[in-house]
Amino acid sequence: MPTRRTALALLAGSTTALALGTAPPALAHDRPFGRHGSPARRRDRATLYVDAHGRGDHTTVQAAVDAATGTGHTLVIAPGTYRETVDIPADRTGLTLIGASGDPRDTVIVYDNANGTPRPDGSGTYGTSGSATVTARPAGLTARDLTFANDWLRADHPDYTGTQAVAIKVTGDRSAFLGCRFLGHQDTLYADSASLTDFARQYYRDCYVEGDVDFVFGRASAVLDRCHFRTLTRTDLAAAPYGFVFAPSTAGADPHGFLVLRSRVTSTAPDGYFKLARPWVPSSDLTAHPMLTVRDSHLGAGIDADEPYGTMSAGFPWQDQRFAEYRNTGPGARVTVPANRPQLTRAEAREHTPAAWFGDWRP
C-alpha cells in the first residue's frame, strides 16, 4: 500500500509519477538554482534563494517569505520537497516564486492539514481555509514551475467529517500561476478574494489541477487557460457522482467568475462519474451568484454529458446561476439534453475572453 506521502504521486495524471523530492542530478548537486544565479552570484538584492540542503539563503519557503519584506522580491526555490505550510502576507506585493529547474514536478510544497484536523493549541480545527498548504494574499503575485500539494487522505482519517484539504488559497488581485501543478482531493485550488467587494483577478496558464470534490472553487475572477483538470477515482463511494470539477462562489456584484478556455478535463474514474460543476453559495454570502464559462475545451468521458451540473444547496439550483458553455468538444461535451447544457451565442462569446475579465491588467 502506498504511504500518505506517495499516494498523490501514484494518482497523478501523467505517465510519470510525481517525484516528491527527486531533482535532476545537475541541479541537485552542481547548480541547484539552474540559470537563476546563486547566493554567490545573486541576480540582484531582491532575489533570495531557497534550498532544503542549505545551499541557499534559506532552507524553508516560509523563512524566505518572512525575509522578503517590501515589494518586488523573487524567491528562487531549488528542487526538492518542502514539507511545510506557507503563509504569504498581503504586504509582499509583486512577489515572484520560481521553481529553479523549470519542471514543476521537481519542486514541491506540500503539507497534510484538512478542515477537520485539530489545531495544536486545542482551539478547534483548521477549517477549510486554515487547511491550505500555501496561503497567497498579496497582489501582483507570480508563481512559475512549482507544485502546490495537500496529501491528506480520507482513508487515513475515516472519522473526519471535514475532509476539505486545500493545496493553495489565493486571494490577491493580479495573481498569475504559470506552468504550475496543484495536487489534492477535495478543494485543491481555492481561487478566492479578500472580501466580497474585492474582485480579485487571477490567471492560471498551462497548469495541471487534480482532485475529486469541488477541486477548483472560490470567488475570484479567474481565467484558467490551457489547463489540464484531472478527476480522480474514489474507493470510498460505490456509485456516481464521485465529485465536481468547479464550484464557483462569485459575488453577486462581480460580472466575472471562472472562465475556462482552451483546456481539457480527463479522468481516472469510470465514464460519466463526475459532474463538471456545481454552484457554491456559502452561508457567509447568500447573495452570491456563481459564474462559470467553459469554452473551446475538451471534456473527456469522465464528465456526465446528460447532467453535467449539480446543485450544492437547496434553494440555489444551478439553473439560476451564471453557467455557460461554448464550442466544447469530447464525449463529456455532447449535448444530449439541451436544457442541461446552456450555450453562449457567438455574440455572447465575444464578451467571455481574458481581456474582458482582466481590464487594464495584462498578465
Q: Which three cell numbers stand for residue 356?
A: 474582458
Residue 9 has pLDDT above 60, yes or no: no
- Tell me the CA end-to-end span of the chain in Å, nearest whole number: 43
Cβ–Cβ under 8 Å, residues 141 and 175: yes
In order of 55, 81, 119, 198, the CA distances from 22 in angstroms are: 16, 8, 31, 39
Q: Which residue has the cell 477537520?
A: 116
Asked, as a colleague might, if the bond just before 89 is cis with ω within 30 of 0, I would say no
Task: Tell me the per-residue pLDDT of 225-265, one tens digit each, with 9 for 90 and over.
Answer: 999 999 999 999 999 999 999 999 999 999 999 999 999 99
pLDDT at 15 over 60: no
Of 49, 53, 56, 100, nearest to 79 by C-alpha is 100
**More confident site: 7 or 279:** 279
Tell me what the mean pLDDT of segment 110-130 comes to: 97
Across 17-31, 32-46, 63-77, 252-266, least confident range: 17-31
Q: What are phi and psi of 339, to 5 degrees?
A: -65, -20
To which residue does cell 462581480 refer? 254
Instruction: For the chain, give the mean pLDDT.
Output: 93
Say how far apart CA 255 and CA 98 lie, in whole Å.
32
Q: What confidence score (pLDDT) does residue 30 get?
A: 74
Whether pLDDT at 55 is above 60: yes
pLDDT in tens, 266-285: 999 999 999 999 999 999 99
Amino acid at the residue 193: S
Please state the rounded mean pLDDT for residues 280-299. 97
Assign 331 to helix, strand or coil.
Answer: helix
Within 8 A by CB and 6+ apart from 305, the residues are 272, 299, 331, 332, 333, 334, 335, 336
Q: Which of 145, 173, 187, 212 is catalytic?
A: 187
Residue 10: pLDDT above 60? no
Instruction: Calculate mean pLDDT across residues 118-135.
Output: 97
Residue 74's beta-bridge partner residues? 47, 96
pLDDT tens per residue, range 201-214: 999 999 999 999 99
Could you read off the pLDDT of 60-80 as tens digits, one per residue? 999 999 999 999 999 999 999
pLDDT band at 27 (very low <50, low <70, confident <90, very high): low
* DSSP-derived secondary structure letter, 329: B
> Which residue type occupies 337?
V
What pLDDT does 14 receive?
Answer: 38
CA distance 302 to 308: 10
* H or E stretch covering 215: strand 213-218
pTM here? 0.94
SS3 53: coil
From the list 248, 168, 170, the residue with the least C-alpha distance to 209 is: 168
| Spatial separation of the C-alpha atoms in residues 329 and 314, rounded to whole Å | 31
CA distance 198 to 191: 13
Catalytic-labelled residue, pool 57, 214, 225, 304: 214
346 pLDDT band, cuts 50/70/90, is very high
Does 95 have pLDDT greater than 90? yes
Half-sphere exposure of 75 (CA within 13 A, CB side): 30
Closest to 93 (Cα-Cα) out of 157, 136, 29: 136
Do 308 and 276 contact (CB within 8 A), yes or no? yes
What phi-psi label fits residue 19: left (phi over 0), alpha (psi between -120 and 50 degrees) or beta? Answer: beta
Distance CA 162, CA 169 (A): 17
Rounded-to-integer distance, Cα 6 and Cα 197, Å: 40
Give the strands of the sheet with 243-248, arranged side by side: 86-88, 134-136, 168-170, 189-191, 213-218, 243-248, 274-277
Span 90-102, mean pLDDT? 98
> pLDDT digit string (tens) for 160-210?
999 999 999 999 999 999 999 999 999 999 999 999 999 999 999 999 999
Q: Which residues partner with 259 through β-bridges?
A: 223, 293
214 is catalytic: yes
CB 120, CB 97: distance < 8 Å: no
Count of CA atoms in the C-beta half-sphere (13 A) of 305: 14
pLDDT at residue 29 in the model: 60
